[in-house]
Structure 1
């Protein structure tokens, strides 16, 4: 029997609690999400491929977790993937999948150390929302992109209900600092009746 962590994820209240939760979850994460029909990674990866169909373009898989998002990016056509995650247990599981060029950790309480302009595409798949990354993550990732670079990220129903998350994106769009290339709604984790919106945003 696998250890279950999914339903308690959305009540985590601090960065350190979040890191400890995901570290304990790493061993059963893939199985629990797969049995709940985790659909957002493939949806987002395919949407990004439609807009940037370049298999040799390096993509930063931010919050890569155990690598389920990276597998989806590979299936879509992206072959050069770097992963970044704050949780050692998750990174170990991602390493075992053998799909990343590089993997790196970071301090969950600080801004992620992404070299500015190093990636023309960054993804945050199932990463931004309650129990994971805060709204300002959208700012950090868009700032790291060069002009014309794209960010692909998702917000589940719980995050969409909190206006702080979509508000961060709207600030960029309203200032003309970014433009929305794609947004669509669909299943996230059907097993717990949770949907998500995916966004592809280009930095102006």
Structure 2
């Protein structure tokens, strides 16, 4: 017996839903692959900078370059420190385009290795998602483009309204400020709050 028109329509709708679902899965896989490949290119550019001390773009049309490598270290049960996720490469200039590829240094703040408030921003749903797990006393290792290592200790974490721009103010003493949107589990745009991690250098 031939299927009815209603049954045919139902089958076509189901097939269309399956195709759309497969398309979304493929698109998600492509975006993940693209993000991983971008990290590889950024890492390679930073390694080239360590060799010749010159800025290198991760790809020819990029308007930024990596300026530091950052590693978050978390206290473990044995009293030591263990990395919290993979190393992060910090890009110059916290534009929306740069933030899509990694945490980025706000150029209005102090530069890497300079005295003052060095501010690094990142997205809460990707590179800076791990900030929700850091605690006061944890460490941050920051390698400059010249290979110099500066270790910071986290001294405070706080949630502030987006209007609390004083966290971006410059300071006479050196400090590191990490900033991302908050809360971490609410990924809708236009977040009103920011999660702030403050750290001071260890001499």
Higher helix share: 1
Higher relative contact order (CA 8 A, sep 6+): 1
Higher strand share: 2
| Short-chain TM bin | under 0.3
* TM-score for the superposition, normalised by structure 2: 0.25
Larger Rg: 2
* TM-score for the superposition, normalised by structure 1: 0.25
